[in-house]
Every structure is written in C-alpha cells, then in structure tokens.
Amino acid sequence: MTELDLAPLDATSELTYWETEEDARIFLNSMYADLMSADSYLFLNSASDDAYSRAREDYRNIGNGNYDSSNGLIAGTWASRFEGLRRANIFLNNIHKVESMDDGLKETYIGQARFIRAWHYFYLREFFGDVPLVTEEISIDESLVLTRTDQSTILAFIYDELDLAINVLQNNISPEQQGRISQNAAIAFKSRIHLYNQEYEEAAMLASQLIGEYQLFPSYEGLFKPDNQDNTESLLSLQFVPTDREHNIQYSLIPPSLSGYSNFAPLQELVDSYTMINGMSIQDPSSDYNENDPFNNRDPRLAASIIYDNYELIDFNGNPVTIRTAPGFAPDGLNYSSNSTPSGYYVSKFFDRGARNNTNSGLNLMVIRYAEVLLNYAEAKIELGTFNEQDWVISIGAIRERAGLNGAAIQYPGNNQEILRSIVRNERRIELAFEAGHRFFDIRRWRIAEEVLDGWAHGMKTNNSTQSDGYERVDLRSFNTGRHYLWPVPLREIELNNNLTQNPNW
C-alpha cells in the first residue's frame, strides 16, 4: 500500500472492511434484499392472465403487450439484477480476506452468495435470454463494452453455482437465522430450473430428495398468516419485520372499506380456474356449478385467495363484515371509484389484520415452498410418462386434500398424460396464485401465453352488456409470439453500450 492508499479515519472503506466475520455477515445480509422486492413478488402476476393492475402501468402494459424497450419495469429489472450481481461478485472476491473467520462458516456464507448469484442469473435469463456473464468486479468502463453471453452458457453457470452451493450449505438453520438460504432451498431451486428447461429427469430426482423432509401446513388459508410464518412448508421466504422492515402490498390488495386501493385485481379467468370442491371443472355440465351462485361448493382455495361479492371476513377491529363488490355498492363495488376494484374482486391471500396502519405488514413472503416442490415433482414425472398412483398420493392428492377437496378430487384419475398435464398445470395456477410470479413464468415456459393473453381479460358477471356473455371487460390484451417471449434489452443499456445486441423483433 502506498502512502496515498490511506483508509479514512471516520468511515469504513474497502481497505479496512473485510476484517471480521461481522463485516462478511453484514454484507451478505444486504444481498438478501436483492432477491426480490415485495412489489415484484406481487405485481409480476398482473402481467399474466391471473390479475390486472390499474396504476402500475409498467406491469399492465407487459400484460397487454403494449410495451417496448423503454418500459420502466424492464429497465429497472435489468439494472437491479446486475446491481445484485455486482454485490455478489464483491462478496465472493473478498470473503477470503477475513482470515479470522471459521472455515466452515465461511464456506456456508460462500454457498449463500453463490445461490444469490445463480438466482439473479436465473431471472435475467428468463426475462432476456442472452445476457452478459460477469463474475468479477468490473469498472464502469468495462461495463460499457460487455457483450451478451449465450443463454446455454448462462444456464450451465447457474447449475455450477448451485452445485457448489449445495455442497457447502447446511439445513440446520437456527430459529434466529430463519430466512437463511439452506441446502434444501438450493436443491428445490435447482429442481425448478431443470423443470423450466424441460430437463425432467433432473427436476424429478432433485424434488424427490425433499419429499418427506417437509410437511404441507395443515391449513392453506393459515399458511399465509403472520402467526404461521417459517412453518413446516417454507423453504425460503423474503423476510420482513414489523416497523423495522415492512412491505405495503396489502394497500393494493384489499377493499377501500378496509383502507385499501385496488391496484391489483384478480381476473375472472383465474376465478374460473378454481374447480368445484369435488375437483370437477365449472365448465363440466355435470359439475353442479351454478352461475347465479358461483362461489358455492368451490375449491376452498378460492375463498382463501380472493374476495368476491358477499364475501365475509373479520376486519381489523375483530368485527365480521360483508364485502359487496357488485356495481353500485359503496365503497367497494366494481368501479365505484378510482379506489375500488375494476374486476369485482380483491385479494384475501396475505391479509394481515395486524398490519400497521392497516397496510404496512411484516408478513414474510414465501418464494420457495414445499407445495411447489411437490408440483415440480408431479409435472416432471407426468412429462416423463412415469407418474403413477403413488406419485399422485404424495403430490397432487396431498395438496388437494390439504386444501379441503374431497371425493373424486383426491382420487387418482388414471395415467392419461393429457389429463394429468391439464390437472397439474391448473393445480399450479390455483395453489401458487399471486406468489412470486409463478404464473407469469409458467405460461411462457409452456408456450401458451399467446392463448391466454389474447383478447379481453374479464371481471365479474354483471350483465351490464351483452358482450362477453355479460362479464365485465377489464383489459384488451395481445401477445406477439415473435417477440414477447423475451423482454427487450433496455433501450438505455444499448445506448450506453453498443456492443449489446437486441432481442428479435424489438
């Protein structure tokens, strides 16, 4: 070190930072905040056929196909993911300097950082395809000449990172360390990625390692309540703490009568995907579905997730209330005001009665949970053609039984692959509704986005118009298969670095 390389006396600098385990832990903790914001966790679902956002134009326009490379969400996603990667690279390139740290703990920290780096690249690859592969700290000048790396190379890097992480991560997470990335979380995440890439043998094998290691929480509704955080089903959650670190997504979910603003509204297409309690689709003439009494005898996950007309709940003061979402009812009726639902539906999932000011919540948000692992396993086995009755019992059957379905709904339907594929895809939709953007990615990896994001998205049936059989029209959508399966590289990034190529047809 030269005489000019002096550390400041009144602040921490890179010359003095990497000295203690506390230094490493504090830096690693800051990287967890990069995993996903609460807003992204929720609103990415409004860019699918499950929901609609009135005020979040950046998400809404991706849902209806009216966007380009200047979209703020796209630019922000690119920037935030690469900023997260920058921090991960700094950590991995400096952790070795902490000589006093226990070697085992150091390896565990490195495993968590590798998981986080793989996490960022997974999302970048899903959104943009080819992206620059950066594994070292680089200068601003170096960042302005980067080129895109083929997505197959990115995928191989992700797998390598997760393998290294799995080899050193632990599962014995102490209560005070809840929220830390575990070995099993890394296994579950790797299973998800293999599934997304049609590598079904690997996806099923990894998921099978976790079957029996966790338990479905007894109550689907209770699974998302603050009293049951870090339960037997949670593998990895975004961690929040009342007053110290809260999110306010509840404000966008609940009715105006409960201090909310309907900025995120479930769509009729999602509501219709919930079966009857016997597992039969509402489109089946023998299902006993009554369009004039549409919420009777439905899958209980519907009420646990969505507030509909004449919905009964307990408010913040412990009083029973009935929510009226039909047109003309103040203040919660469909389009009654700019604060009320544009679809006739609100969200009951994640409802936190203890939220500060009714909207600021410390509720953790699960990004990986056991039910997803079971669904990954089931889908992979179905695609392999090896799904059998025992697989049904431990996966879809168990999930449906926990949800409260009965009779034929929990019985093995036979080995017809098309029927099983339809079941598991719908099961993912309703079991994982509004969670971590699952539906956004599912409709793209299944290559059905052009089917479900084409034409009008609907709200409740009002018969105010003869169009759409009397269901309210909420948003006109379109999906261009020639370009919408990947987001464009942000315009600003290409303006800064002309080495970056653009995705097809943008």
According to DSSP, residue 254 is labeled S
Count the Cβ atoms, other than its own, within 10 Å of residue 198: 10
Sign of CA dihedral 340, 343, 345, 350: negative
Query: Which residue ranges make up each domain of the chain?
Result: 21-243+488-496
> What number is the average pLDDT over the span 214-219?
97
Q: How many CA atoms lie within 13 A of 159 on its CB side?
A: 16
Percent of the chain past pLDDT 70, that is, above it, reads 97
pLDDT for res 174? 79
- pLDDT band at residue 14, thresholds of 50, 70 and 90? low
pLDDT digits (tens, 9 = 90+) for 177-190: 888 999 999 999 99
What stretch of H or E contains 495? helix 491-496
Cβ-proximal residues to 324 (8 Å cutoff; 6+ apart), any chain:
309, 310, 332, 333
Residue 2 pLDDT > 70: no
Q: Summarize the confidence of residues 26-33 as an average pLDDT.
A: 96
SS3 labels along 203-249: HHHHHHCCCCCCCCCCCCCHHHCHHHCCCCCEEEEECCECCCECECH
Res. 15 pLDDT band, cuts 50 70 90: low
Instruction: Encode pLDDT of 308-346 as tens digits.
Output: 999 999 999 999 999 999 999 999 999 999 999 999 999
Q: Can you tell me whether residue 257 is helix, strand or coil?
A: helix
**Percent of all residues in the chain with a pLDDT value above 90, rounded to a whole number:** 94
Mean pLDDT of the chain: 95
Distance in Å from the first CA to the final CA of the chain: 49
With vertex at residue 415, the alpha carbon angle to CA 184 and CA 209, rounded to the nearest 5 degrees, is: 15
* Overall average pLDDT of the 434-441 stretch: 98
The answer on pLDDT for 3 being more than 70 is no
Does the structure show a pLDDT above 50 at 235? yes
Q: Would the pLDDT of 51 be above 80?
A: yes
Q: Which helix (H) or strand (E) holds 455?
A: strand 455-461
Give the closest residue to 383 by CA, choosing from 353, 322, 424, 344: 424
Q: Which CATH class is domain 21-243+488-496?
A: mainly alpha
119: three-class secondary structure by DSSP:
helix
CA–CA distance, 252 with 261 (Å, rounded to integer): 5
Predicted confidence at residue 173, as pLDDT, reads: 82
pLDDT, one tens digit per residue, over 465-503 is 899 999 999 999 999 999 999 999 999 999 999 999 999
Answer whether residue 61 shows pLDDT above 50: yes
Q: Residue 4: what pLDDT?
A: 41
d(CA 136, CA 30): 18
Tell me what the mean pLDDT of segment 237-251 comes to. Answer: 95
pLDDT at residue 6, rounded to an integer: 41
Q: Rounded distance, CA 495 to CA 30, Å?
A: 30
For residue 177, what are its two tokens?
């360390």
